[in-house]
Each structure stands twice: as structure tokens, then as C-alpha cells.
Amino acid sequence: MPIRIETGLKPDRVDPLATKWLNRLDSSFQNRINNMRVFKTYIIDGDVPEEILHIFCESALADPVTSRYSINKHLVSDFDFVIEVDFKPGVTDNEGRTASEALKILFSSETDTPGVYSGTQFRISGDLKDFEIRSLASDFFANTLIQRIRVASYEEFLNSDSLNANPPVVNLNHEPAIIPINLTVSDQELSELSRKNVWALTVDELKIIENYYSKEDVQEVRKSLGLSSKPVDIELECFAQTWSEHCKHKIFNAQITYTEDGHEEVIDSIFKSCIKKATENVRAAAGENDICLSVFKDNAGVIRFNDEYGIVFKVETHNSPSALDPYGGSLTGIVGVNRDPFGTGMGSELLFNTNVFCLADPFGKDEIPLGLLHPMRILEGVREGVEDGGNQSGIPTINGSVVFDNRYLGKPLVYCGTGGIIPLKHMDRDGFEKYPESGHLIVMCGGRVGMDGIHGATFSSEELHEESPSSAVQIGDPITQKRMFDFLIKARDLNLYSGITDNGAGGLSSSVGEMAQFTGGARLDLAMVPLKYEGLDPWEILVSESQERMTLSVCPTKIEEFLNLSRSMSVESTVIGEFNSSGYFEILFNKRTVALMDMDFLHNGLPQMKLKAKWSSPEIFRGDFSDVPQASEMLHRLLSRLNIASKEYWVRQYDHEVKGTSVIKPLMGAENDGPSDSAVIRPFHHSMEAICVSHGICPRYSDVDAYHMTMNAFDEAVRNAIATGGDPETFAALDNFCWPDPLEGAENSEFKLASLVRSAKALLEICEAYQIPLISGKDSMKNDARVDGTVISVPPTLLISLTGILSAQNAVSMDFKNPGDLIYVAGSTRNEMGHSEYALELGIEDTAIPVVKTKEFMKIYKIIHLAMRKQFINSCHDMSDGGFGVSLAEMAIGGRTGCEINLSSFPVDVSIDPNTMLFSESAGRFILTVPQKKKLEFESLFDNSDPIALVGEVKKENRVIVKSSHETIIDETVESLFQSWHKPLEL
Amino acid sequence: MKVRSLVISGNGTNCEKETAWALKCAGSDMIVTSTIWEMLQGKYSFDDYNFIVFPGGFLDGDHLGSARAQAHRLKYGTPQQRGPFIDQISAMINSGGIILGICNGFQLLVKMGILPDNNLRQNVSLTHNLSGKFEARWVSCVADPDSPCVFTKGIEQIDLPVRHGEGRLIFDTEETGTRLFTNHLVPLKYVDKKNNPTEKYPENPNGSFRGAASLCDETGRIFGLMPHPEAFTHYTNHPSWTRMSLPEEGMGVSIFRNGIDWLRNHL
């Protein structure tokens, strides 16, 4: 008989968590809810002796100072109705797992301990109707995809003799089976097979497989092993994973016939001919100074940090899961990307996290289409997922941003990045390579395998639709992962394994399949894989994306020591097969061969996709800005725009300085709230060697031309790194594309694909011009949602993440420092108001978006960096969203001190009006402050023709004053600017 | 007498590296970092050391309440080939050792009933911040000059970061609270810009009574605090280092050095 426990705060204790929940509610609900208390429930699935039960409750579950508990009866309190939420069977229940472990401690080691399942109770007093309570439960307190809900009135609850004590135990009641599948069927049936099984394989791809299986030599081998002549489900699932857009990047590798204004060109893979080529060319030009160590081949890119260590960096997206369950999606996103640098080379220690969210306006008044979550719920969910994932992992979240655009309503974009530090030498070999050998054992380490996360890779290769599978949703468990990392770093330093990779998309099929390429084959027995519960089919075990797992190769002579260390650190590791050189990926189940795939066909059997893209250069259209509100008003309005307003709400809830490495924090200045351009950390406490981490993203410009969007995003990342002191000779970048579906059949697909081509071409151009290599990247190509027959597609969005190296003492923050410091503007301002925050605020259509002039810009960047090394610069801030006006206000807010500016000497190419100087978003620009005594030395670094000018001075008085000739066009207190900027996103 | 420090890591603890570094800066003769799992196997024993540090982190992910599951583990878990953890820790305290709990480590000491009264009965708690939110920010604290705490001697005011969701100190009864303040067992308090203890957000990030940021026992040798002294070992850690000139060593090291100096003078 299951045991049910309730715990809750004592009546006289305040309940901040309840208040936090209520604060997120609509005011219409808030006004009618008088009181709410959050209680917890625990269901123990089995018998526990009375005495142990009480110790368990008192020691592990209920804080004696704050809380009380009850066993198999309700805790009494006043309320009108209760909403009880717990997890559906099989969903990760981290709190339940911790409770199970705590209970186990009280049992002798030989006894089986019953499982514990956690739940939450919301006890609410207020005047709400029945249907309102139910909608609150399903739309606000729970996600019905992964959670169970029970709603009861006070009377129903107290009188219910059948307390809800059904533990959510998975009972599949299913005999595992292996099914051969007939592919010799009509196209329509093939298409139906692919859809029904969420393979995301096209009819043509299935025919290639069918054709392969019908070959005589293939049939012969299969016959000799007793395999069915038809492919079995395990094999088709493995092909589906390996050949998915998510894993194979078919569009990036496609042959594209690209037509630009009538001129046709055939591109053999934009990945090879643009992205990889950019890096190859940069590396060749750098010669001895090449910083790249391992690029585009491992889970993350590796560059040189110093003579002993390399920097490892990877950014991923987790968009589709975040659309279904924002919390679980982003949590899994961040703990998932942690495993990439961790599984690079022989393994790296993690240093930092980054995150960028693209979301719809959370305050929007438009009706949300059925089937989509409200943007506020997505915002809170993804924020909290990264909070729990990052904070609990003990990795500081040091850089990020939030971009708002209503086209992210269908699929939010959740970019998560992780950087690490890797020893260049592991024993006497390169630490950034792997060394699995034929005969080494395949070991799975960490969590167990369940149904969760089946078809993540193939599902994300489709648009979101009403039947999107909920098994694709998972909840990460940072603590289990941290325990595994603690163990594996020890194992690495003891040289106990020869290779490591992560289990992400595609699960074991990808991790083992990819590592088997080193030796030329593998044998994997799926019956040896530890499961969360019985009843999984072999194919499910193979492709499940259950979290917190790494796959390793271990030499048989080291296996005992490896497994002993693992056990001693509370981490489960299991031998599940061995790597060989057979040329096959052979799958066994209970020692019997049940599937066999030729490694060559699996990895190279997919023919190149052939696609068409068409581009017509847009006409530049200039808007009419003659009748606009005055500059002061516009400055306040811009500071309040969601893309510009302070993101302190996020930053404060992310631990950004665990590890004690922070030098430039996300917020700096007199009151610690000025927005930094990039983060700077010192990886080693004993050294001043530092890393800066920045990013650039500007999807607004894609509407005109993704080429310029890309140039601007890249330049923004570079500017941000320059602004805090990064050395441009050491920069390395990552590209993360999130595109709307560019394949035939999607709306306007030729344009979308042309945008992709143009973006890739821009990357090649700017990387070569700036001499910055791309070291890793990812693409996500189906960021569309189909709801009620309409499609909501994201704008083509590219995130550039960038690292650089500097000496910590030369780092510069953005806040104004001392009254009297001179204010300079570096970089020319042009009439580039197109799709600027200013134009969008006014609703004025204009397509003159900023143009990046790489040669001119880099010259200035290098001089600024030199000036920083000479410590001439007190503060520096880049200009981007909102232009000069917004950056100036932010610097004044950061320093809580004013300034006086005169626009008469502003650096421009051709004459422009004051509003354009204030709000144009031309790239390549900074505001700098220089102490008066360094004036001459600073100015002497520049040529006369360089676009640099002294425009004003930092003032003691807390007013931001801007004059144009003799007229004062802005005169605002720093405090009032702060209010406009800080209020909008105080959630 | 050598100062032998033991830093406990594992299971979600995540500040062990910078804590070991702070101990090194402060001059500890020996620093061992052990996971709780190695302690359970009996590889190390608390009573072989005279300075134990429980660093910050997210033991068991804060599930069941911060540090509660680990407190339970230390109370009821039986290490192989060694006496119970509680006995090891008592022996270490009785032979004159010192204990420092930082953030999650402070929560652990409180939930084991080691702080404030060292009688294994929990009579205070560290619970959810009044905001309901996790807070990462720098705060200013002043030290009580009359406190017996050996870690805060000579410190008047100190800037340190807090990073916690459950830092609000509450008491089982009003009397407990009054006694702790009267006996100067609240060595560090969050203060406003005028250096007065405050309950006002954000200077007090969690709403703790009268600005309480820490606790010590009556001997002053067991000390727990919510702010992170190990996160301020170098001037570039300070959020205003680009605005002012600061000594190279961060002030956080002084907390560790005070403990080590006391051991050297008393062992």
C-alpha cells in the first residue's frame, strides 16, 4: 500500500514561493485570490517501518523550524480549493529521486528501498469559478504534457477517503520486440510510415535504404547472421537519427543552385565552401599564429589559450522542446550543451555558460493561437530552466541577451552555450583528440535510459504541429550530471579511458555510431543498457535521448579501476559493448545479433540534397523622419523598448560568479547595473590571463538582407569583445543559425534559402577580413509552427558567439568613471536608420540598414585595443540597438554621473541631422572616455583621417545634456533615464 | 602546529576550487578536497583535520530544501571502517578545530543542528528569500566587534557577493533570535549605505531579521555565512575594481586567514 506524506509551512510562516507564483498571475485572478499556500506531497511506493518513516519525514522532508508534516492524512489548513500537480509516469522527478536516496540511507544496504514520487499542492482561498480553477491548473500551475493534475474543493478534499496515492510508476506491460519493416511499398505508404514513426525521412531517402537492402551482398551477410531480409525497426530508427537534418545538416551540405539578380551559381555545400573555408583561409593566413586546435570535428571547437591549455566552446539551440515545455526544454538545453565541451577531446573542465533567448512580446495583447503557450509563460519557463540548470551545475552564466520579436511566438529560440578549459597534453598525447582503439569497451556512464526524449532529433527536424510527441520533452537533472562530471574528471586525470563523447540527439545511436568511426566499427548489446523501467523495445533503447549520459571507450585493462571509481562516487557505469574494426555497427540483444549496419553506408550513404535559391536585391527605401517627436522623448521611449531595457531581472537570478573567476560581470558600475559589452573571466586564480566572451545578434535586419544581418551580428560580437579589452588577434567565433524552413513546399522557400546562402557568404567575407576563424556552430532549420492552418516562422536569425584573450588588468567596463573625463566617439555615423529601434518605435518603414566596412572598422578596433593596453581608456561602450543616444544614457546610468555632449564635432562621412547622429545604428562605433591627462597620447594613436572625435565631457552633475550647435536637444536627469530603462522588465 | 584543512565537495557542491584557493592564499599548511563519497568510503575522516570548510553549491539540487538531504546523509549515513560522521565532527570540534560553512555549507551546518548551539537540534533555519527569487549580487556587511567569532576578528566592514535562493534566517522562537543577537552570535550583518544593519531589499538580499547574514556558536569556532568570502580573493573580483584602486588581495581571504591565525595561536 503506497504511503502518502504531505508537508507544508506552519501557519505563521510567510510563503515567498506562493507570492512569487501569484505575482505572475493576471490581475483579474490576483484580485480574487485572497491567499495561497504551496504544500508538497510525497508518495512512497511500498512499505516503510513506522519508526523509519518518522525519521524520514523529520530529518529529510520537513524542516522542523518552518514546516509540519502528516502521514496518510491531510495537513489541515483553510482554503477553498486545492490543485495538486505531480509528474506523469516516466517524467524525470528530481525531487523524488533525492527523497528516494534519503530514504535509502535509512534502510540497510541489502534491502530494496521503495521509490518516492514528489508533487506540489496549491491551496487557494478566493472567489473563483470551477472552470477558472481548472484553467488555472492546466494553463498556469502545470504542463499537462508532463504533469498530472487533480483539482478539488475543500470539502471534496477533506472527505476524500481515497487520497490520491497512486504513484506514477511506469508500467509498460510490453514484451520487447524487433519488427522487420517492409519498404517495398508505394510512395504514399512510405510517406505514411515516416510520419507515423516520426522518422522525418523523405520518400527518396527511404527508397535509398530500400535499394541498399535489396543488394545481393547485403542480403548474403544478413542471411549468414540470421537477420531478416527486410530492415528491422532498430536499423530504420538508426538511419532516421543519423540522417536527420539535426544530425546530418543536409541543407548546409546540399548542392544549391543560387540565382542572384539573374546571375546563376552552383554552390557545393555552404558549409564546405563558406563556413569551413572561412576557417581554412584564416588559419592559412595566420601561419604560425594559428590559434585553432580542433575545429568542426568534435563536440565543440578548441583554440589555444596559452602554452598549457585550450579554450573549448560550443553553443546549441533547444527550440522545439522549449516550445512544448519551456522549463524542461531550456533546462535540458543548458545541461545538454555542458556535455559538449565536456565530451570534447579527452574532456574539458567547464568554465562558463551563455544564453540568448528570442521570444515574443510577453505583454502583447493579441490572442494567442490555440496550441501555443503564452509568451510570458515561455519567458518565465525558459528563464527558470536556465537558472536551475546553470546554477545547480555550478557554472557561471556570464553572458547573454534577450531579443523580442513577435515572430518567435510559434517557436522561441533558446541558445545555450558552454565554454571549458582543456589541457593541451593528456599524458603524452594531445588532450584535444580522442584515442579509442579496436577492442576497447563501450561504456555508458551517468543516468539510465527511459522513454523520455525519444525522437528528439527527428522531431526537431520537423515543424511543430498539434501531434508533436510529448516523449520529446525531458527534464534535465543537473545534480546527477555534476556527480558524473566530478567522477569523469578524476577518471580523465587517472588516464582510465581512451575516448569520451556525449549522448545528446539520437542517443546511443549517434554517440556509439560516431565514436565507432574512429575504429571502423562497434558491437553494442542493447540488453546490457541499464533502464529506468522494463518494457522498452530495443530500438527505443538505441535512440532514447535520456539525459545525463556520456559514452566512453575504455581499454579492457583499465575497466575494473574505472568501474570501481565510478561506483565509489555514486555514478552508474556499464559496459555495453566494444569498438572494433569490422566495418559494421552491429546491434545485439541478449547476445544475439539483431541488427547490422554498414558504417560506410550509415555515414556516407545519403546522397547530397539539391536545392534552389533565388535572390533579388531589394531597392533601398528611405523613410520620412521629418515629423518626429523631439529627441528627449525619443530617448526615453527607446530606453523603454524591450530589446533595449535593462535585463537585470535575468542577470540577478543567474549565478554569474561561481568559481570566483569574474573580472567583468554582466552588470557593472556605481550601482552595479550598467550593462557590460562582454564578460571577462580569469580561468586560473593565480594568473591574470583572461578570456572575454561576447555575442552579436540582430535578426531585424534579415527582413532586408540576411547578408547585412550577418555582417552586423558578427561585427557586434567583435565590437563587444573589443569594448572590454579583448585582443583582436585572438578572437574566435561560433555561428548558430536558426532559420525558418527553406525547403520546397514552405512559403517563400527560395527566398529563405537565398537568405541562408547570403548569410554564409557574408560569414566567409567577414571572417577573412577580420582574420577570425569559425571554430564550431550549429544549424536549426525548422523554426516554424503550424497552428490553425497558419504558419508562424521565425525571422532568419544568426547568433555569433565570440571569445578573445586579454590580460585582466587591461579589462575596461562601460560605466562613466570620473567627472572631467573626455568623451570620444570612434567610428563614423551614417544615415542608416533602416529597421533601427528608432524606426520601429515610430513605425516608419526604411530599408537603409547598416553596412559593415570591415577594413575601416578593424583599423579603429586595433587602435582602441592598443589604447586599452596602454591604459588610456577609462570606459568604453559599443553602439548598437538605439545608437549613440542609448549607449550614452547607459554609460551615464552605469556611472550614475552625467555628461555634456556637443554634436557639432560628431564623426560623420556626409552631413546628417542630429536625430540621425543620436539614433542611427551604424556599425563599427564606440563611445570612449579618456582622462584629460592622457588626451594627447590617446589622440596621437590615430591618423588625422580616422573617424574619431572629442564630443564632450563626463560631468559631476547627474544630467545627460546633448547640444546641437547652440540648441540643447536633450537635458534629462540620469535618474529619469534609469527609470525609463529599468522599469519595463522588472517582472 | 600545522593547519590541516579539509574542503568537502561532491553531490552538487560547486565552490570547492575557489575555497581551496582562498585557503592557500590564507596560508593553510595542507589542503585536502574530498567528495562526500570518499568520506563515506572512509578514505578521509573529519577528525584528522583541524579546519573543515563546507563550501557553497547546490547539494542535492536544493530538493527537499537547501542542504536538507545532505544534512540527513551526514546524520544517518555510515562511513565504511570509520565512526559516524557526527562523532568524527564532534571529536574534531572537541579537540579545538574550527569549522566554516559558506552559503550552502552554512545551510548544512544549520540543518544538522551544529549552528548555532552545536547540540544536533535544529532551532533556526535558512529559508526562501522574501522575494522568492535566487539573488546574485554584491552586498556590504559589518562585523560585530563583540562577537566571539574567530573568523571576523579585526574586520569592520566587508563587501562580498551573495548567490542564494534560501538565505533568510529565521528562528524557532523569538527567544532564540533575541538570545543570538544579545550574545553576539550574529557576527556579520547586511548593512545599508550608512553601515546600519538593514532588512531592506536589495542591501539585505533575503529579508533576514535585523540583517543577519551569518551565525557562530558560543565558542566562536564554528561560523556560517551566506555571502561568499572565497569569491573575493583578488581585486578584479570586486564589482567596482574598474572604478577604484584596491589592494591586490581580496578582502574575502581575511576570513580564512583569521581562522588560520587563531588555530596557530591556540593549538
Mean pLDDT of A71-97: 92
Is there a contact between B211 and B204 (Cβ–Cβ < 8 Å)? yes
The 3-class secondary structure across A421-448, one letter per residue, is EEECEECCEECCCCCCCCCCEEEEEECC
The shortest CB-CB distance from A394 to any of B14, B65, B171 is to B14
The DSSP secondary-structure symbol of B57 reads B
Helix, strand or coil, per DSSP, at residue A304: strand
DSSP string, A605-674: -SPPPEEEEEE-PPPP-----SS---HHHHHHHHHTSTTTS--HHHHTTS---TTS-EEE-SEETTTT-E
B234 is annotated as an active-site residue: no
Instruction: Report yes or no on A721 lying in a domain.
Output: no
Of A480, A477, A442, whose CA–CA distance to A559 is shortest? A442
Q: Does the distance separating the beta carbons of A568 and B58 come in below 8 Å? A: no
Domain ranges of chain B: 4-266
At residue A471 the predicted structure's pLDDT band, cuts being 50, 70 and 90, is low
CATH number of the domain residue A98 falls in:
3.30.1280.10
Between the alpha carbon of residue A558 and those of residues A174, A484, A518, A529, A563, the distances in Å are 37, 18, 19, 20, 9
Mean pLDDT of A434-461: 84
Of A421, A444, A445, whose CA–CA distance to A346 is shortest? A421
Q: Does the distance separating the beta carbons of B127 and A63 come in below 8 Å? A: yes
pLDDT number for residue A430: 97
Mean pLDDT of B4-29: 97
Q: Does the distance separating the beta carbons of A482 and B242 come in below 8 Å? A: no
B230 is annotated as an active-site residue: yes
Closest CA in chain A for residue B112: A59
Residue B3 pLDDT exceeds 60? yes
At residue A25 the predicted structure's pLDDT band, cuts being 50, 70 and 90, is confident
CB neighbour burial string for A189-214, b if at least 16 within 10 angstroms, e if fewer: ebeebbeebbbbbbeebbebbbebbe
Domain encompassing residue A557: 309-607
Instruction: Report yes or no on A108 lying in a domain.
Output: yes
The 3-class secondary structure across A55-91, one letter per residue, is HHHHHHHCCCCCEEEEECCCCCCCCCEEEEEEECCCC
- Residue-wise pLDDT for A645-662, tens only, equals 999 999 999 999 999 999
At residue A887 the predicted structure's pLDDT band, cuts being 50, 70 and 90, is very high
Instruction: Report yes or no on A739 lying in a domain.
Output: no
Q: Does the distance separating the beta carbons of B136 and A657 come in below 8 Å? A: yes
This complex has an ipTM of 0.97
At residue A458 the predicted structure's pLDDT band, cuts being 50, 70 and 90, is low
Tally of CB atoms within 10 A around A902: 17
At residue A464 the predicted structure's pLDDT band, cuts being 50, 70 and 90, is low
State the smallest CA–CA distance between residue A656 and chain B in angstroms: 7
Distance CA A259, CA A252 (A): 17
- Collect all residues of chain B within an 8 Å Cβ-Cβ radius of residue A65: 122-125, 127, 170-172
The 3-class secondary structure across A792-852, one letter per residue, is EECCCEEEEEEEEEEEHHHCCCCCCCCCCCEEEEECCECCCCCCCHHHHHHCCCCCCCCCC
In this structure, what C-alpha cell is assigned to residue A52? 523509519
Domain final position from A581, A607, A633: A607
Which position among B25, B103, B149, B216 bears the catalytic label? Answer: B103
Name the pairing type of β-strands A116-126 and A81-87.
Answer: antiparallel
Residue A877 pLDDT exceeds 80? yes
The DSSP secondary-structure symbol of A140 reads I
pLDDT number for residue A840: 97
Tally of CB atoms within 10 A around A34: 11
At residue A372 the predicted structure's pLDDT band, cuts being 50, 70 and 90, is confident
Q: Does the distance separating the beta carbons of A63 and B125 come in below 8 Å? A: yes
- Collect all residues of chain A within an 8 Å Cβ-Cβ radius of residue B69: 60, 98-99, 101-102
pLDDT number for residue B38: 92
- Residue-wise pLDDT for A840-872, tens only, equals 999 999 999 999 999 999 999 999 999 999 999
Instruction: Report yes or no on A298 lying in a domain.
Output: no
Fold (CATH) for B4-266: Rossmann fold (3.40.50)
State the smallest CA–CA distance between residue A660 and chain B in angstroms: 4
DSSP string, B220-241: S-EEEESS-GGG-SBGGGSTTT
Helix, strand or coil, per DSSP, at residue A941: coil
Is there a contact between B256 and B182 (Cβ–Cβ < 8 Å)? no
Which position among B16, B135, B228, B238 bears the catalytic label? Answer: B228
At residue A472 the predicted structure's pLDDT band, cuts being 50, 70 and 90, is low
State the smallest CA–CA distance between residue B119 and chain A in angstroms: 15
> To the nearest 10°, the Cα dihedral for A938, A942, A943, A949?
-80
DSSP string, A446-490: ES-B-STTTTHHHHTTS-B-TT--GGG-----HHHHHHHHHHHHH
At residue A913 the predicted structure's pLDDT band, cuts being 50, 70 and 90, is very high
In this structure, what C-alpha cell is assigned to residue A177? 520486440
Instruction: Report yes or no on A752 lying in a domain.
Output: no
The 3-class secondary structure across B93-162, one letter per residue, is HHCCCEEEEECHHHHHHHHCCCCCCCCCCCCEEEECCCCCCCEEEEEEEEECCCCCCCCCCCCCEEEEEE
Count of domains for chain A: 3
Of A213, A280, A230, A261, whose CA–CA distance to A775 is shortest? A280
Residue A248 pLDDT exceeds 90? no
pLDDT number for residue A452: 78
CATH number of the domain residue A576 falls in:
3.90.650.10
Instruction: Report yes or no on A444 lying in a domain.
Output: yes
Interface contacts A/B by beta carbons within 8 Å:
194
Q: Does the distance separating the beta carbons of A653 and B136 come in below 8 Å? A: yes
> To the nearest 10°, the Cα dihedral for B123, B128, B130, B133?
160
Distance CA A703, CA A716 (A): 18
pLDDT number for residue A981: 98
Q: Does the distance separating the beta carbons of B72 and A102 come in below 8 Å? A: yes
At residue A89 the predicted structure's pLDDT band, cuts being 50, 70 and 90, is confident
Instruction: Report yes or no on A65 lying in a domain.
Output: yes
Between the alpha carbon of residue A217 and those of residues A222, A224, B61, B159, the distances in Å are 9, 11, 54, 74
Domain final position from A159, A181, A210: A159
Helix, strand or coil, per DSSP, at residue A598: strand
Mean pLDDT of A666-670: 96
Is there a contact between B220 and B149 (Cβ–Cβ < 8 Å)? yes
The shortest CB-CB distance from B37 to any of A101, A102, A569 is to A569
- Collect all residues of chain A within an 8 Å Cβ-Cβ radius of residue B129: 16
The shortest CB-CB distance from A66 to any of B64, B127, B138 is to B127
Domain final position from A607, A629, A659: A607
The shortest CB-CB distance from B133 to any of A653, A664, A813 is to A653
Dihedral sign from CA coordinates of A271, A275, A278, A280: negative
Mean pLDDT of A666-683: 97
Residue A468 pLDDT exceeds 60? no
pLDDT number for residue B37: 93
Q: Does the distance separating the beta carbons of B172 and A392 come in below 8 Å? A: no
